[in-house]
Each structure stands twice: as C-alpha cells, then as structure tokens.
Amino acid sequence: MGAESPASFRQMEICTSLRRTQVMKILLALVMLGLMSSRGAECRKRRVLDSFDYSAISCRAHSASLTDFGGVGDGITSNTNAFQSAINSLSQYSSDGGSQLFVPEGKWLTGSFNLTSHFTLYLHKDAVLLASQDVSEWSVIDPLPSYGRGRDAAGGRYISLIFGTNLTDVVITGDNGTIDGQGQIWWQKFHQKKLTYTRPYLIEIMHSDQVQISNLTLVNSPAWNVHPVYSSNVVVKGITITAPITSPNTDGINPDSCSNVRIEDCYIISGDDCVAVKSGWDEYGIAYGMPTKGLIIRRLTCISPYSAVIALGSEMSGGIQDVRAEDIVAINSESGVRIKTAVGRGGYVKDIYVKGMTMKTMKWALWMTGNYGSHPDPHYDPKALPVIQGINYRDIVADNVTMAARLEGISGDPFTGICISNVTINKSPKPKKVQWVCTDVDGVTSGVVPQPCAPLTKGDQSAEGINSCDFPTDTLPVDNMEFKTCSYSRSYLL
Ligand SMILES: *[C@@H]1O[C@H](CO)[C@@H](O)[C@H](O)[C@H]1NC(C)=O
Ligand SMILES: *[C@@H]1O[C@H](CO)[C@@H](O)[C@H](O)[C@H]1NC(C)=O
Ligand SMILES: *[C@@H]1O[C@H](CO)[C@@H](O)[C@H](O)[C@H]1NC(C)=O
Ligand SMILES: *[C@@H]1O[C@H](CO)[C@@H](O)[C@H](O)[C@H]1NC(C)=O
Ligand SMILES: *[C@@H]1O[C@H](CO)[C@@H](O)[C@H](O)[C@H]1NC(C)=O
Ligand SMILES: *[C@@H]1O[C@H](CO)[C@@H](O)[C@H](O)[C@H]1NC(C)=O
C-alpha cells in the first residue's frame, strides 16, 4: 500500500539476487548469533517490493499478499485456511474501496475457498495453485436448481476450487499464473463410477454481477474449467486452458443461464467442448427459466478431438439467445458449432450468429443433434419440445473434413431459419460419401461448397453472388465493460 520510497527500491535491488529461502536461512543464522537488534545492515531484514500494473474492470484500495495470512508455497502445505482467512479479512473492505490479494511465485496447494465482493485475486506468473486431492478439502453443496441434480451423480456436488456466490465486482486474474486442478484422481473416480457427488469445477461464479476472469492458465480441471452461472456482465479474456484430450467433461468455458458475457482471446485444448453454452436441464431448467443471452465469443482457438468448438446445449432448457461468435480457429476437433438438444428439454436456441471460422481436420464441420438424450431423470415432459430457430453461419473455411454437415432436427419439431453462406468445406482423403445429411431442418444457403442438402437450397443464389447471412452490427452492453490500469504496490520486511 502506498508509494515506495527510492531507498527501498535501492534496497530491493541490492537484495533481490538472494532467493527467499536463502534469506530465511541467513535470518535464522543472524537470530542465533543475536545480531538482529543491530540496525542498518541492508539485507538482514530485506524490504521486498511487489509492484506492477494490470488491467481490470475495477481497481482496489487495499492490498495483501497470501503470505500475510500464513501461506506457504512449498507445494505440500495446505493453504486452504490461508486463502479463506485472507479473503474473510479482506471482505471488510468490500464497501471501502475493495481489496486485492496477491499470490506470489510458489506452489500453493489448496482446497476450495470462497471469494468476496469488490475483490481481485491476482496470481504472479510463477504462482501455481494446486488443487488439493484430499476430498475432505472440498465441501459438498446443493445441486444447481436449474439442473435438479449433479451431473455425475444424483444429489449434491463438490464445491469448485475457486467459488463465489451473490457477489458484485470480482476479478480473478494474473500475469498468466496457473491453476492446476490435478484432476487425475477425479477422472479415475469418474471412470470407475466411484463418485459419491459430482466432480468439482475449477472456477464457479454464481448469482454474481461484474465478473472478470483473465490472463490465467488453467490445467487439468477435475471437470468443467470456468462456470459462470446465473450471472451477468462477465468477461473471460486471455485464458489458456489445457487438459488431456481424453479427460472426461473437461469443458473449457461454460456460460450457464448468464446474460452479457464476453469470451475473447482464449486458447483451449480439452477433452470436451471448448465453450459450452448452457441454461439448465429438462424440467428443472424449464422451471428455473433463466436463459443465456447476449454472449460474445471472439478470437477463440480450440482443439477438441472428441467434442465441439462451441456447443449450444445440451442443457438449454432455460433458452439460449443472441450468441455472436467471430474469428474462431479450430484444429483437430470433432465439430465446429454444434447444437445439442432433445425432446423434453423445452427451451430454445435462437438468434445464433457465427462469422469467420477457420477449421482444419474435423469430423463434422457443422452438426445439429435433436436426439441428444441425456435426461436428469425419467420425469421430463415428452411434450416439452425445444425451439431451434435463426441459426446463422457465414464466412467459414474448413479443410480436411470427413463430413460437411450432419443436421438432424426433431421429427414434428424442425429446426428452422437456418442460414449458411460463404462456406467452403474441403474433404479429407477418406471422406464420407454423403457430405450432407439433413433431417427435420429448414433454411437457406448461399455460396456453400459442397452443394448442401435440398431442405437448405431453396434460397441458393450463388450464381448471382453471395447472399450473406445476418450478423448483428449493434453492440451488446458487455462490449462496454472496459479495463482500467490498476496497480498493486506493496512492500514488506522479510
Ligand atoms: C493480459 O496480459 C496482457 C499482457 O500479457 C496485458 O496487455 C493485458 O492488459 C492483460 N489483460 C487482462 C484483461 O488482464
Ligand atoms: C463457501 O460457500 C459455500 C456456499 O455458500 C458454503 O457451503 C461453504 O461452506 C463456504 N465455505 C467457506 C469456507 O466459507
Ligand atoms: C443469492 O442470490 C439468489 C438469487 O438472487 C437468491 O435466491 C439467494 O437467496 C441468494 N443467496 C444468498 C446467500 O444471499
Ligand atoms: C500462458 O502460459 C501458457 C502455458 O505456459 C502458454 O501456453 C501461453 O502462451 C501463455 N500466454 C501468454 C499470453 O503468455
Ligand atoms: C486429415 O485428417 C485425418 C483424419 O481424418 C488425419 O489423420 C490427417 O492427419 C489430417 N491431415 C492433415 C494434413 O492434417
Ligand atoms: C467469404 O469468407 C471469407 C473468409 O472465409 C472472407 O474473407 C470473404 O470476404 C467472404 N466473402 C464474402 C462475399 O462475404
């Protein structure tokens, strides 16, 4: 806190070459020699300065380091209490300028902890949060009301590593520091069907407004990585997510019953969908009735050999509306944008706009699935049919594709208002003979190669030039969420 005097800068320069552990050892030796009381020796008590700027939606008046609360970054000591007591203590500033908690370089083993409002968690570039593999470090919380149950097991679910609910103005960022979910034990339990509760996510923010998650690397999540749910005004930017491509349900970013969300500049390799847009499951999602709407996805690079680059569903019972995806790169992925739904879901997926997508090595460039199945329980309403309407794809080039499109609506409930324009799909050396399969879908195409299926060729005017599908030109409120330059500057004696 406060400005640092030039003297301390000099002192820091003198001392920075000493590693902290070495300093500790020297301090210990000095204590034993009884020399600590003598003043003026530059390096006996080292003044350390952590000072840097970063971008955030709001800056904070108060600062602390995890080490102030007994944090030990040795990769062995549990820091759950250090994190929770730091945040509990800093929550006193929620109505007094807010606070920021700095996580220095080190390996910080921790169980789950809860965030507070007007708060920033900042990870140094060499800070690694290691998720505890001790199940007792994860409390069990209620299932999401819009899902009715956990996804892995009926009943409750393990709380996420970083959890926040009913918050305003929360930032999780860093200089590309790492959050390592150490998911292997969870994936194993999942495969062996030994889970009592649903696996934890890495970051879950519920019922919150004004959320920023940026400049971090997330690895090996037990399941989903970033899950904003029942929240609004959320920016996820500059996140790298990696998990083994065979790891179960390691979705990248899952906006779920959220409005005004912006996902940009993210790089994701995962075992499930890179971005999965959701809004609750069958009768629970219908009853909760909270859609995801006003979602921007731009400059996303995705590798997902067994799943989609962007999935809409399969849990979409609260509705999904106004999704704008732009400048998407996909490599070695199962499908590009995929709509997943089923009889019993209810809800809708409408006003979806995709513009500018480059894909290489894909099984299906375009995929819509009306019979996804996967119900929370047998009590879903078979009369609850989803409405899929107004799906616009344009300016797409895909190379090395096994099958161009597999578009399967629901019998008696066709997917309508599909528009596909300026799309070139180049086949792989071993392509499917039939490149387009279309059932229960209806729409128009223009400038699409190879020749689309009959239900989509009514409006083809490629001979007279390309008739582009819509892409909105207005801005969404989340576009106006801007970053300020904030600073963290804090010195202390070590
Ligand atoms: C992310 O980091 C880059 C530099 O690496 C910086 O320019 C940018 O402001 C940061 N953005 C956010 C939102 O944290
Ligand atoms: C974190 O919040 C959840 C849900 O509100 C609660 O069950 C849990 O006990 C909280 N954890 C701590 C350490 O306060
Ligand atoms: C959090 O917000 C939700 C939705 O507004 C509300 O139903 C719930 O009671 C709130 N929980 C707490 C702990 O304030
Ligand atoms: C962040 O770290 C990851 C993992 O090391 C790296 O792949 C990525 O390029 C880094 N991002 C930035 C912006 O430096
Ligand atoms: C094309 O896709 C096939 C799988 O269908 C893959 O084995 C092959 O490596 C890809 N070729 C290139 C040049 O990427
Ligand atoms: C077609 O898409 C390409 C990108 O794939 C773009 O560069 C080009 O401008 C588009 N053409 C039209 C007519 O929109």
Amino acid 210: pLDDT: 98
With cut-offs at 50, 70 and 90, classify the pLDDT of residue 45. confident
Tens-digit pLDDT profile for residues 84-97: 999 999 999 999 99
Tens-digit pLDDT profile for residues 345-394: 999 999 999 999 999 999 999 999 999 999 999 999 999 999 999 999 99
Q: Whose CA is nearest to atom 14 of ligand 3?
A: 166
CB 174 near ligand 1, within 6 Å:
no
With cut-offs at 50, 70 and 90, classify the pLDDT of residue 459. low
- Residues with a catalytic annotation lie at 272
Q: Of the ligands numbered here, which is closest to the C-alpha atom of 180?
A: 4
Question: What's the rounded mean pLDDT across residues 263-290?
Answer: 98
Give the distance (Å) from ligand 6 centre to CA of residue 261: 26
If we measure between CA atoms, which residue out of 291, 260, 311, 262 comes closest to residue 146?
291
Q: Of the ligands numbered here, which is closest to the C-alpha atom of 331?
A: 5
pLDDT above 60: residue 15: no
Q: What angle do CA 105, 108, 113 make, to 5 degrees?
A: 125
Ligand 3 pocket at CB < 6 A: 166, 207
Q: Which residues contact 437 (CB under 8 A, 6 or more apart)?
A: 403, 405, 406, 407, 408, 453
- Say which residue, 86 or 47, is predicted with more confidence: 86
Amino acid 463: pLDDT: 57
Centre a 10 Å sphere on the Cβ of residue 124 and count the other Cβ atoms it contains: 19
If we measure between CA atoms, which residue out of 247, 263, 248, 268 comes closest to residue 332?
268
CB 341 near ligand 1, within 6 Å:
no
Ligand 2 pocket at CB < 6 A: 84, 114, 139, 141, 159, 163, 165
Domain boundaries, the chain: 56-379
Amino acid 33: pLDDT: 43
Work out the mean pLDDT of the chain and round it to a whole number: 91
Question: What's the rounded mean pLDDT across residues 419-433?
Answer: 96
With cut-offs at 50, 70 and 90, classify the pLDDT of residue 274. very high
CB 240 near ligand 1, within 6 Å:
no
Determine the Cα–Cα distance for residues 322 and 384; give it in Å rounded to an integer.
22
Tokens of 103: 């996580």
Q: Which residues contact 312 (CB under 8 A, 6 or more apart)?
A: 277, 320, 323, 337, 338, 339, 340, 349, 352
Q: Whose CA is nearest to atom 3 of ligand 5?
A: 361
Q: Whose CA is nearest to atom 5 of ligand 1?
A: 175
In sign, the C-alpha dihedral spanning 208, 209, 210, 212 is: positive
Which residue out of 361, 364, 427, 432 has the highest number of ligand 5 atoms within 8 Å of its CB and is therefore the one to mutate? 361
Give the distance (Å) from ligand 4 centre to CA of residue 122: 16
Q: Whose CA is nearest to atom 4 of ligand 5?
A: 361
Tokens of 4: 């640092």
Ligand 5 pocket at CB < 6 A: 361, 400, 402, 428
CATH fourth-level superfamily of 56-379: Single-stranded right-handed beta-helix, Pectin lyase-like (2.160.20.10)
- Nearest atom in ligand 6 to 465's CA: 13
Q: Of the ligands numbered here, which is closest to the C-alpha atom of 266?
A: 4
Global model pTM greater than 0.85: yes
- HEC string of 188-217? HHHHCCCCCCECCCCEEEECCEEEEEEEEE
Give the distance (Å) from ligand 2 centre to CA of residue 114: 6
Cβ atoms of 11 and 47 closer than 8 Å? yes
Determine the Cα–Cα distance for residues 273 and 256; give it in Å rounded to an integer.
14
Question: What proportion of the chain, given as a percentage, has pLDDT over 70?
Answer: 90
Q: What is the DSSP string of 44-105?
A: TS-EEEEEEEEEESS--SEEEEGGGGT---BSSS--HHHHHHHHHHHGGGTTTT-EEEEE-S
Amino acid 36: pLDDT: 42
Give the distance (Å) from ligand 5 centre to CA of residue 441: 30
Give the distance (Å) from ligand 5 centre to CA of residue 343: 35
Q: Using CB atoms within 10 A of its CB, is residue 482 exposed (0-12), middle (13-18) or buried (19+)?
A: exposed
